[in-house]
Amino acid sequence: MDNIVLLVVLPLLAAFLMPVVARSSEVVARTLGLSVLFISIGIILNVWSQSGQIDSQAVSIVIGGFLPPLGINFYVDQISLFFALAVPVMVLLFWPWHRATSIREYSLMMLLTASASGLILSGDLFNIYVFYELLGIASYSLVAIQGRVSAVAASFRYLLMGSVGSVMMLLGIAIIYTQTGTLNLAHLSLLAPEKLNNMLGLASFALILTGMGVKAELFPVNSWVPEVYGSVSSNLAALMAGLLSKLAVIVIVRLLILLFPQPEALQLMGMLGILGVLTGELVAWRSRDFVRMLSFSSIGQLGLIFLAFSIPGEMGMMAGIAIALHHMLVKPALFMLATGWRGAVENLSGVARRSPFVVLLFIVLILSLLGIPPLPGFWAKYLLMVGLSSQDGFIYTLGMIIVPLAMVIEMAYLFKIVMIMYRKDNDEPAVNNSNIVDDSNIVDDSNIKVVQKHSKWGLAIAASVAAMLIAIVLQLQPASDKLLSLANQLSDRNYYISTVFPQIHTVRMQSIK
Amino acid sequence: MTSVTELLAELLLMPFIAFVVGLAMVLMYRKIAARLQRRIGPPLLQPIYDIVKLYGKETQISHGLIHDIGLVMAVGGYVAAEIFLPVPGMDGIADKGGIITLSYVLMVPSLGLALGVGQCANPNGSIGISRALTAMLAYDIPFIIVVFGVATHYQSTSLVGMIEYQQIHQWGIFEMPLLAVAGLFALQGMMGKQPFEIYVAPAEIATGPMVEMSGKYMGGLFVMQTFQLYTAGVLYTSLFLGGGANWFEFLVKIFIVVAIPMSVALVFPRYRTEDMVRIMWKWPVMVALIGIAFVL
Amino acid sequence: MSVLDDLLLFTALASVAIIVLRRFAFISKFSVVVYVLATVLLIKMSALGYGGEAVYSSFTVNVLGQVLQWRFDALSWFFALITLVVALFTALFMSGAWGDKYRKEHSKEAYGLLQVALILNVLSMLVLLASGDLLSLFIGWELVSWASFMMMALNPDKVARKAAIKYIVYAMAGAMAILMAIAMTYNMTGSLDYVQVMQGMAQLNNSQIAVLVSLYAIGFGIKMGVIPFHLWQATAYAETPGAGAVFMGAISARMGLYALILVIVQIIGLTRVAAIEIPYTFLDMQNALAWVGALTTIIPTYIALKQNDARYLLAWHGVGQGGYMLLGVMIADSIGTAGGIMHVFNYATYQAALFMTVTAVIYRTGTSNFSKLGGLVTQMPLTFMVMVVSIIGLAGIPPMNGFVSKWLIYRALLLDGQPLLFVAAVIGTLGTILSVYKLVHNTFLGQLRLEHQDVREAPLSMLIPMLGLAIIIFATGVMPGVVLDWVAAAQIAIGIAPVEHNLGGIELVQGGLNMIWVTGVMFYGFAVGAIIFYFLGGKSKHIHQYDNYAGGHFLTSKVRYHYSNHFYAGLMHLIGGWYRNIFIKLEYALVSLVSFMSQLSENFYRSSQPAMLVAAIVMLALWYIMSADGSAPVLVQGLQGGMSK
């Protein structure tokens, strides 16, 4: 169990060692990186199989021998373990295989892995901040390293946004610290109802939300999204849209549950979520570029997730997790399909005749994204709607109206693409049959036809995601039970506290302070 | 429930009476027209002569099967309609249909005629039909409102029931004067008389439905006209004038009813079709709606 | 395994089989067999049509605390019967010559996909009809929507594609309204099971019911194409490829009516709906819905009058006829609902027949444009006959079946004392008569075009289903009691007193209807007319179709004199000004609004200094939060406290 720590340490080490090792042998360096990922996956699977009851039993891992709240700890429950597994798996899936650029990118990927794992596992605010910053650095650099001018520009924008965000977050953490004098989450959680249940607490939440929100594509700190996703490779976009945004969301939700009991916090998040849904889908409706459309759609979906998590109670938690996981599956798959379909959507005319299977795959994915029953996306939307309607209050009523509206808009633009794909009035396809699987050759000018062959790897990912979606439909009952247990565990404050402080009672905690 | 023999007799008698009375009405119309124009007018049997003449003509052009069937539908539809119209001593199958059914059966002749004319492939005929159908749209709306008001008033759609009610209580015209006025207006259109007859006007014959009707086709239309006049008179009498306790009273009533629009017709010029729609949808509809407000 | 399981499983397996085998030539015969077998399975449940107990599926799904279940009651059975019969006739229709031509013109794959779309539509409709709770209803609903979309999207033309997209946007909006309503229903009543929801509804107050009813009505109404959601339907159905249009036009939109009856009439109950007064009007909600129905009969019917393409004309009538059904159901007495529900059957038969005739005309001539047709009666007499029978049904003139259901609706309106609705219904009927004459005249009557001189009668494989439908139209017109049995059973199922009927129609003290007598007398009348015509007077001479004149001049066949353009010129001169395209403008305004909002949002994402903007906003927000309730000193104290540590 304790080797969970290796999840952070090994990739971090690899990240620093790789450039060094590469000086003597590049092959070894690359193997080092990959093997670390495999080891990480192995560790997690091992943990999962060893302690069979991780499903019902969370674990707090103390690091360095000092007990919390003085020492630092990792908190491992179902959801964090799941994400800790998802990190190396997805990094592996979206590994920049075909990029002959440099070892630096691999090194940055490892840094990303380490910081992402750390972020999801950390049990105190300070570490969360540190890993968050690391994650930021890794991702800014990864964007910038893509080589295109537009990518550098986008990266700079992203950097600005991210820096402002981290300042905000730091300020928020500072406020919390001044109020409570501790940074351990469990400890904070004990103190929160008393110390943070006020306007000041709300302010610190707003600051942390804004800070973390940059990664989570939260409105209004998400204006970097379309440019970054539009200029980086599909692999990286898939990773960022699929994984990193969800990580940030889960961390925000965890902080929200543990630290901020006030309903205004939920409402603030809900409101921003609604704005995200609305603006994201509206702009996606306008955009004429496939990847850009997907990026805005991603913003919209993240808005939905925030809105879902802002619903108090079990229903909201389930809805949020369901949408988040669903989006985590579908959006990377869509980005994988986008590999072959960059540029203006008009260029996709007639694609369906040339690659009917890929288009079919695309349709299944977007149907699920739209929430068409009986695909999994529908159950997530259903939970969201039931959750929204169970609350009264302006935000939720507004959400009740905006969400369906956004879905209609999303449907409109996604199926406009499908219709273009099935159009027959096009001339000879502009397929470049040379071995193009690498999208670094793609020209940014969207007037040029850039319909290319999909990489087999990307198609395999998309196909397996579609297969997973269908498998979930066939296994609805177990899936919904699992979701319920995830939601229960995530939303239970007392459970978190008692896991971190097994023996210590509330009275004792008071005295420690 | 009438016995079978009685019904069979009614099946034969009712259309026959309608035909004879209709002929008399045609004659009356011509006589009124003549008197107003200071002529003597035709002799007693002139309508019959006309029909015989038309049926006996040598040139009889058929444009095809539908042309013939259209005529059959036009005449046959009215023959059927007569059996839905109760007259003194004979109810026909009025209890199986009622006023709504009757109104729709009355559309069958129009449809038949329209199909027949259509087959003729004469553009002028088609123009005539388009006008005729528009005219139908014009007068049917006030007529249907009147029917609604009357049926609501009597709480029945059975013409037999309506007549019984009126004979026990009072004539409909006294209980629903506004609807009666509106009904009379609509009647003017239904009978195809001036000022609402542009689609069949003698002066417009070359651009009307009759353009390709020669010989017995025209004769069929003549027969249809007799039925048309009779139906209009009887229907109005049944709705507003209490039907007839005996044949004498009944005939007097229907002749008076028919005479009024005829007299009006002869002092008016014609309206264009769209003007007809306009006037029909304005005045009689308004009056009928006010009438309904009183009934409800 | 209940019979329902058999039916659903069989249809599902058949769908898979058709998907797999779609490229083979024998698929057309195969699909006919499939629909025959499915119909047989449905007939096994025919006890439902005569008041039998509901049939439950043994298959259930537990998900998220809900039990999804499926069942058939009399109402579902009635709709399923129509669906399967129409599907069977459609499959027959496309199995022969039409299918061969379609294969040749497009591809084997295209034809196979048409078969796939048909079976998927049938399957999804059966799933919808079998739904046993609101969630399974919604699932079925969405499946139907997307299956219809697939059918529409099979036409590669640009117009059709646009129509399909428009349809699916409307359908999605409707589905979202329903989803909202279902979520609210769940929270208000604590369940989604029909019986429990029905009990729960009793506890709700009027405003809650009002919200639910409006949402459900919007959702289901969009599928039906009621005013003001009527814009999508006509183009979409008209542009669906031939045989597909037959099926879609006949039954697809009726799923909206089914769901509406189920939810608003059966579960919520019209007495609750009637109790809701709409402010600033004299209407209650039930009346308002009835008025929606009435307007839906009028407006689309008069739009149909203006169409210059047979398919569009029929499709617009399809929208209009839906209004009668809604109107009938919303009268809420036993006669009115019977009329509304029965009209679904009658409408399906004649609409299918009409689309088939038009498709047959297209098959032979290649067009359904009125300006390019005319005079086909001599070439395609049987097709013409089917069309005449069906338009008499559509116009609601005795002795065809359309008359009976309309009669029931009129009768109910009379009994209910609703003069304006009655007038509205009649205006709709008159408009229908005008436009169906235009249809038959411009296609089959008038001048035959030179290029159509060699056109032959539609092939037998297309004629058989057409004639079969014509027979059904006539037979159920003469003996409406056959259908009324099923309708009465459906009425019991939805909790309305069943209509009292006999084989010939309705027995009522205040004036009933007996179609056997009516038809008998009408045919007697025709016989008399025929005797007068054929046995009296001289013999008529048949002349050639092209032997014609106008204004004293002989018209050669080269002169195009078919009067088809601007057919009701006089009427249009008068009412032309009323076609204001208000709804099209409304739709456009909505799209423009979305576009404007979209532009606004895009401006945000394009702003050059988002970070500064955000920082400023957050700082302002913080300042507001801190100063909002005077808790600013806390921060200062807190900071000071922190520093002093």
Determine the pLDDT at residue A451: 54
| Res. C638: pLDDT tops 50 | no
In terms of pLDDT, which residue wins out, A354 or C400?
A: C400
Least confident of A344-358, B208-222, C80-94, C616-630: C616-630
Task: Give CA–CA dist C304/C316, Å, rounded.
Answer: 5
Note down the domain range covering B195: 4-295
- Average pLDDT of chain A is 83
Evaluate whether residue A196 is within a structural domain.
Answer: no
**Is residue A209 less than 8 Å (CB to CB) from chain C?**
no
- Mean pLDDT across the stretch C43-51? 88
- Average pLDDT of chain C is 88
Q: How far A477 CA lies from chain C's nearest CA (Å)? A: 5
Residue type, C114: L
Contact between C433 and C395 under an 8 Å Cβ cutoff? The reply is yes
Selected for mutation to probe chain A from C172, C600, C636 (highest A CB count within 10 Å) is C172
| Res. C237: pLDDT tops 80 | yes
Determine the pLDDT at residue A435: 39
Q: Which of C177, C615, C622 sits opposite A206 (nearest CB)?
A: C622
Note down the domain range covering A360: 263-433+446-474
> Ramachandran region of residue B98, left (φ > 0), alpha (ψ -120 to 50) or beta?
left
Residue C634 C-alpha from the chain's centroid: 65
Q: Which of A278, A296, A385 sits opposite C183 (nearest CB)?
A: A385
Q: At what angle do helices B123-154 and C419-444 cross, to 10 degrees?
A: 160
Contact between C402 and C410 under an 8 Å Cβ cutoff? The reply is no
| Res. A78: pLDDT tops 50 | yes
Determine the pLDDT at residue A99: 55
Q: Which residues pair with C277 in a beta bridge?
A: C284
Name the B residues in 10-49 with CB < 8 Å from any C CB.
Answer: 11, 15
Peptide bond preceding A220 in cis form (omega within 30 of 0) = yes
Determine the pLDDT at residue A1: 61
Residues of C in contact with A223 (CB under 8 A): 604-607, 610
- Mean pLDDT across the stretch A455-459? 82
Selected for mutation to probe chain A from C168, C207, C605 (highest A CB count within 10 Å) is C605
- Mean pLDDT across the stretch A461-465? 90
Q: Do B118 and C440 touch (CB under 8 A)?
A: yes
- Mean pLDDT across the stretch C399-407? 91
Residues of A in contact with C161 (CB under 8 A): 419, 422-423
Determine the pLDDT at residue B79: 92
- Mean pLDDT across the stretch A210-233? 86
Least confident of A167-181, A497-511, C174-188, C396-410: A497-511
- Mean pLDDT across the stretch B132-155? 88
The beta strand positions in B5-72, using DSSP E, are 61-62
Evaluate whether residue A146 is within a structural domain.
Answer: no
Q: How far B111 CA lies from chain C's nearest CA (Å)? A: 8
Neighbours of A198 (CB within 10 A): 16
C346-375, pLDDT tens digit by residue? Answer: 999 999 999 999 999 999 998 999 988 888
**Is residue A160 less than 8 Å (CB to CB) from chain C?**
yes
Q: Which of C186, C594, C638 sits opposite A386 (nearest CB)?
A: C186
CA distances from C144 to B29, C12, C117 (A): 62, 14, 11
Could you tell me the pTM of the whole model? 0.91
Residues of B in contact with C573 (CB under 8 A): 274
Q: What is the dihedral of CA A20, A24, A29, A30, to 10 degrees?
A: 130
**Is residue B193 less than 8 Å (CB to CB) from chain C?**
no
Q: Do C419 and B277 touch (CB under 8 A)?
A: no
Q: Which two tokens stand for residue A318?
A: 């389930």
**Is residue A278 less than 8 Å (CB to CB) from chain C?**
yes
Number of domain units in chain B? 1
A87, burial (CB in 10 Å: exposed 0-12, middle 13-18, buried 19+): buried
C449-491, pLDDT tens digit by residue? Answer: 888 888 889 999 999 999 999 999 999 999 999 999 999 999 9
- Banded model confidence at residue C414, pLDDT cuts 50, 70, 90: confident
| Res. C644: pLDDT tops 50 | no
- Mean pLDDT across the stretch C117-121? 94
Determine the pLDDT at residue A51: 64
B169-208, pLDDT tens digit by residue? Answer: 888 888 888 999 999 988 888 887 878 877 777 777 777 7
Residue of C nearest to A375 (CA): C139
Evaluate whether residue A83 is within a structural domain.
Answer: no
Determine the pLDDT at residue C218: 93
- Mean pLDDT across the stretch A118-144? 89
Determine the pLDDT at residue B2: 52
Determine the pLDDT at residue A449: 45
Determine the pLDDT at residue C59: 87
Q: Which helix (H) or strand (E) holds A73?
A: strand A72-76
The fraction of chain C above a pLDDT of 70, given in percent, is: 96
| Res. C201: pLDDT tops 50 | yes
Q: Do C594 and A285 touch (CB under 8 A)?
A: yes
Closest CA to C227 of C173, C306, C330, C301: C301
Determine the pLDDT at residue B169: 86
Residues of B in contact with C376 (CB under 8 A): none
C245-254, pLDDT tens digit by residue? Answer: 999 999 998 9
Residue C252 C-alpha from the chain's centroid: 5
CA distances from B281 to B134, B184, C224 (A): 12, 14, 30
**Is residue B133 less than 8 Å (CB to CB) from chain C?**
yes
Determine the pLDDT at residue A95: 83
Contact between C217 and C286 under an 8 Å Cβ cutoff? The reply is no
Evaluate whether residue A396 is within a structural domain.
Answer: yes
- Mean pLDDT across the stretch A259-287? 89
Q: How far C185 CA lies from chain A's nearest CA (Å)? A: 9
B154-170, pLDDT tens digit by residue? Answer: 888 888 888 888 888 88
Q: Is C549 helix (H, G, I), strand (E, B) or coil?
A: strand
Determine the pLDDT at residue C625: 66
Determine the pLDDT at residue A511: 47
**Is residue A360 less than 8 Å (CB to CB) from chain C?**
no
**Is residue A140 less than 8 Å (CB to CB) from chain C?**
no
Determine the pLDDT at residue B269: 83
Q: Which of C407, C427, C545 sits opposite B100 (nearest CB)?
A: C407
Least confident of B203-217, C408-422, C432-446: B203-217
Determine the pLDDT at residue C158: 85
| Res. A67: pLDDT tops 60 | yes
Selected for mutation to probe chain B from C385, C533, C541 (highest B CB count within 10 Å) is C533
- Banded model confidence at residue A458, pLDDT cuts 50, 70, 90: confident
In terms of pLDDT, which residue wins out, A434 or A476?
A: A476
Number of domain units in chain A? 1
- Banded model confidence at residue A4, pLDDT cuts 50, 70, 90: confident
Query: At A350, phi and psi to the nearest 5?
Result: 85, 5
| Res. C3: pLDDT tops 60 | yes
Q: Do A200 and C597 touch (CB under 8 A)?
A: no
Q: Which residues pair with A75 in a beta bridge?
A: A60
- Banded model confidence at residue A101, pLDDT cuts 50, 70, 90: low
Whether ipTM > 0.90 holds is yes
Residue type, C315: A
Evaluate whether residue A303 is within a structural domain.
Answer: yes
CB pairs under 8 A between B and C: 258
- Mean pLDDT across the stretch A469-489? 87
Residues of A in contact with C614 (CB under 8 A): 161, 164, 210, 220-221
Determine the pLDDT at residue C479: 92
Residues of B in contact with C433 (CB under 8 A): 107, 111, 133, 136
- Mean pLDDT across the stretch A352-370? 88
| Res. A433: pLDDT tops 60 | no
Determine the pLDDT at residue C526: 93
- Mean pLDDT across the stretch B69-79? 92
| Res. C639: pLDDT tops 80 | no
> How are beta strands C505-506 and C501-502 bridged, if at all?
antiparallel
Task: Give CA–CA dist B82/B100, Å, rounded.
Answer: 14
| Res. A181: pLDDT tops 50 | yes
Determine the pLDDT at residue C449: 87
* Beta carbons within 8 Å of C117's beta carbon, 6+ residues apart: C147, C150, C151, C154, C244
Determine the pLDDT at residue C467: 95
- Banded model confidence at residue B227, pLDDT cuts 50, 70, 90: very high
Residues of B in contact with C398 (CB under 8 A): 101, 104-105, 108
Determine the pLDDT at residue A436: 38
Evaluate whether residue A67 is within a structural domain.
Answer: no
Determine the pLDDT at residue C602: 87
